[in-house]
C-alpha cells in the first residue's frame, strides 16, 4: 500500500512544480484534488500506524504544493498618474450681447448743423420773426448736427460673457462679431477667445 502511495505523492509534487505556470487559484485547486485522492488512498490502508503516517505525508505534500500560492504579492506603489493642471483660463460662453457705442462729437457736426440751420431759419419770416427763426434754426441745426456726427462715429461691440471653470464670470468686448455661440467651450488668452 505504501508503494502505491509513493507514485501519487510524486505526481502531486510534479503537478505542484508544473503548476508554476498556472495561476495561484489553479495550483491550489489541483493540490486540493490530489490531497483528497491521497487521503482516500491512505484511508484504505488497514494498518493504523501506516495510515496515520500516510495522512501526515499527504498533508506535508499538500502544504508544500500550496506554499507559494498564499504568499502575499510584493508591495508595489500605485502607478503615478499625472493629471493635467486645471485650465485657469478656460470656461464656457454664457452670453453674447451686441452693443452700440455712440461716437464722440468733435464739434464739426454742431458747427455745420448751426450754419445750415441758421441759413434755413433765415429764409423764414421777416423782421423779428426772421431773427428768431435764424437763431432757432442755428440752435436746432447745431444739436442735430452733433447727434448726426455721434451716430456716424458710433461703433458696435460684442460683449462675450464667459463662465470660467473656477466659477467666476468674465466679459470680453470684441470689435467684430465672434464666430462663437452660447455653450461653446473656450480658452481666453488676453482679449482673444479661442474655441476648444
The one-digit pLDDT tens for each residue of the chain (196 residues) are 444 555 555 555 555 455 444 567 787 888 888 889 888 888 888 888 888 898 888 888 888 877 765 545 555 566 666 666 678 889 999 999 988 776 666 666 667 665 676 666 666 766 776 677 667 766 776 677 667 766 666 778 889 999 999 889 999 888 888 888 999 999 998 888 888 8
Same domain, 98 and 161: yes
81 within a domain of the structure (yes/no): no
Of 180, 185, 173, nearest to 90 by C-alpha is 185
71 within a domain of the structure (yes/no): no
Same domain, 98 and 128: no
CB–CB of 163/92 below 8 Å? yes
Same domain, 44 and 135: no
- Give the predicted TM-score (pTM) of the model: 0.37
- C-alpha distances (whole Å) from 134 to each of 98, 119, 131, 165, 178 are 41, 7, 5, 63, 48
Domain enclosing residue 146, as ranges: 103-153
Same domain, 54 and 41: yes
Contacts of 173 (CB under 8 A, 6+ apart): 99, 157, 158, 159, 160, 191
Same domain, 13 and 46: yes
- C-alpha distances (whole Å) from 147 to each of 6, 12, 116 are 115, 105, 14
Same domain, 119 and 139: yes
Same domain, 168 and 178: yes
Of 54, 64, 60, nearest to 28 by C-alpha is 64
Amino acid at each position: 500500500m505504501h508503494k502505491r502511495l509513493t507514485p501519487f505523492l510524486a505526481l502531486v509534487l510534479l503537478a505542484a512544480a508544473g503548476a508554476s505556470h498556472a495561476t495561484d487559484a489553479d495550483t491550489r485547486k489541483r493540490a486540493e484534488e490530489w490531497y483528497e485522492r491521497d487521503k482516500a488512498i491512505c484511508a484504505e490502508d488497514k494498518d493504523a500506524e501506516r495510515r496515520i503516517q500516510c495522512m501526515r505525508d499527504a498533508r506535508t505534500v499538500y502544504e508544500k504544493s500550496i506554499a507559494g500560492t498564499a504568499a502575499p504579492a510584493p508591495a508595489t506603489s500605485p502607478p503615478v498618474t499625472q493629471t493635467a493642471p486645471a485650465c485657469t483660463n478656460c470656461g464656457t460662453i454664457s452670453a453674447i450681447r451686441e452693443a452700440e457705442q455712440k461716437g464722440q462729437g468733435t464739434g464739426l457736426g454742431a458747427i455745420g448743423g448751426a450754419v445750415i440751420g441758421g441759413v434755413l431759419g433765415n429764409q423764414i419770416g421777416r423782421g423779428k420773426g426772421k431773427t428768431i427763426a435764424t437763431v432757432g434754426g442755428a440752435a436746432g441745426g447745431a444739436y442735430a448736427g452733433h447727434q448726426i456726427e455721434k451716430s456716424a462715429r458710433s461703433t458696435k461691440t460684442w460683449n462675450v460673457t464667459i463662465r470660467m471653470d473656477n466659477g467666476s464670470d468674465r466679459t470680453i468686448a470684441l470689435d467684430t462679431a465672434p464666430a462663437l455661440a452660447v455653450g461653446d467651450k473656450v480658452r481666453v488668452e488676453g482679449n482673444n477667445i479661442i474655441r476648444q
